[in-house]
Amino acid sequence: MTTALVTGCAGFIGSHLTQRLLQEGYTIIGIDGFTPNYDARLKWRNLSLIGQHPRFLFHAAPLQTGDWEQWLQETDIVFHQAALPGVRASWGNAFADYAANNLVATQQLLDACRRYPRIQKIVIASSSSVYGTMQEGLTDERAPLLPLSPYGVTKAAMEQLCRAYVNAYGLPIVLLRYFTVYGPRQRPDMAFHRFFRQLLRDEELQVYGDGHQTRDFTYVSDAVEANLLAARLGEAGDIYNIGGNREVSVLEAIEQMAALAGRKPRIAFLPEQAGDARRTCADIRHAGEKLGYDPQVSLEEGLRLQLDDMIEQERG
């Protein structure tokens, strides 16, 4: 039986990944440090949705003070989802927290993994934020890294750290660059969560910029599938874009969301925020060719599923 360590297991993507791995028959050691970037009750809700399971052992602990011997000695695969996310919150004094959670914690994890040759693969979540604003056409993994925010800088630096450990110690690290993941349990600071909450409460939708900025949105189950594929087929040092195969403007997405919610949106346009990219659009051919990655959930279906989850939250 395969044992996997999942960091950030109570978070948005991490909780979905943990559920899927349990369904696939894995034994899971789940770690979450409950960083205070949003209400911890939402993370406890995520854990409750995973449910009690005899093959799920949960530890509430920060990675920086990790009990690596306990966590790693029986681990076959590591899925590193834990991070301090968010572009807009990463400026100023907050940068120290981003460096601690996204760089120092990752370095400690990788250094610990060196001591356990049983580990077959280390799949690490990165971000499209490493690219900054993308140019015309699709952006592939060879594009220059030009992050626009301190958060993006920590993710780009984390990738370089991983390369160093691959080159120096042969650690079997595979990196996944997520493009704007959405779906049930999405963090409350993310746009789709905010827009649905505002629609359901008949509030103004607060849009930063003119709304014509575009994103490549990735449904959470597709991001989870990418992790499983990377664990099976990725090779040490591989990096993959994980996108949804469709570029959509913020205003187009709002139109679909409002139709699903049966509401007429009232939009308040706010100033652009420092660090926000104007455009993201993933070239996912490399992940398709090497991993067999093929996103399955359309934006329309994914938004409906997220809305259903948020209606349940509003009632609950």
- Residue type for position 196: F
Q: What structural domains does the chain harbor?
A: 3-182+217-244+279-295 (3.40.50.720)
Per residue in 190-220, pLDDT (tens digit) is 999 999 999 999 999 999 999 999 999 999 9
- Average pLDDT of span 270-291: 96
Predicted confidence at residue 122, as pLDDT, reads: 98
Report yes or no: 266 and 204 within 8 Å, Cβ to Cβ.
yes
Q: What is the pLDDT of residue 136?
A: 81
Predicted local confidence at residue 30, as pLDDT:
98
Measured CA distances, 59 to 6, 70, 91, 274 (Å): 10, 11, 30, 36
How confident is the model at residue 127, as a pLDDT?
98
pLDDT at 316 > cutoff 70: no
According to the model, what pLDDT value does residue 111 have?
96
Tokens of 158: 């984390």
The residue annotated as part of the active site, out of 98, 131, 151, 219, is: 151
Determine the average pLDDT of the residues in 112-138: 95
Active-site annotation holds for 293: no
**Mean pLDDT in residue range 157-179:** 98
205 contact partners, CB below 8 Å, separation of at least 6: 194, 195, 198, 199, 254, 265, 266, 267, 268
41 confidence band (pLDDT: 50, 70, 90): very high
DSSP calls for 229-257: HHHHH--TT-EEEE--S-EEEHHHHHHHH
Question: Cα separation of 123 and 287, whole Å?
Answer: 14
Locus of tokens 């993959």: 240
Residue 181 confidence (pLDDT) above 90: yes
DSSP letter for each residue of 164-181: HHHHHH---EEEEEE--E
pLDDT at 66: 86
Mind giving me the DSSP string for 124-143? EEEEGGGT-S--SS-B-TTS
Report the mean per-residue pLDDT for the chain: 96
pLDDT in tens, 217-246: 999 999 999 999 999 999 999 999 999 988
The pTM assigned to this predicted structure is 0.97
In angstroms, the CA 207 to CA 210 distance is 7
Q: Is the pLDDT of residue 295 over 90?
A: yes
Q: Which of 232, 280, 206 is nearest to 77 (CA)?
A: 232
Q: What backbone torsions phi and psi does residue 63 show, to the nearest 5 degrees?
A: -65, -30
pLDDT at 63 over 80: yes
In this prediction, residue 135 carries a pLDDT of: 85
Tokens (6 digits) for 282:
């993933």
Minimum mean pLDDT among 61-70, 120-129, 185-194: which range? 61-70
The reported pLDDT for the residue numbered 313 is 84
pLDDT (tens digit per residue) in 242-270:
999 889 999 999 999 999 999 999 999 99
Strands 239-242 and 181-182: unpaired
User: How far are the Cα atoms of 12, 30, 126, 151 from residue 310, in angstroms, in the given order?
Assistant: 13, 25, 26, 27
Q: Are 78 and 4 in contact (CB under 8 A)?
A: yes
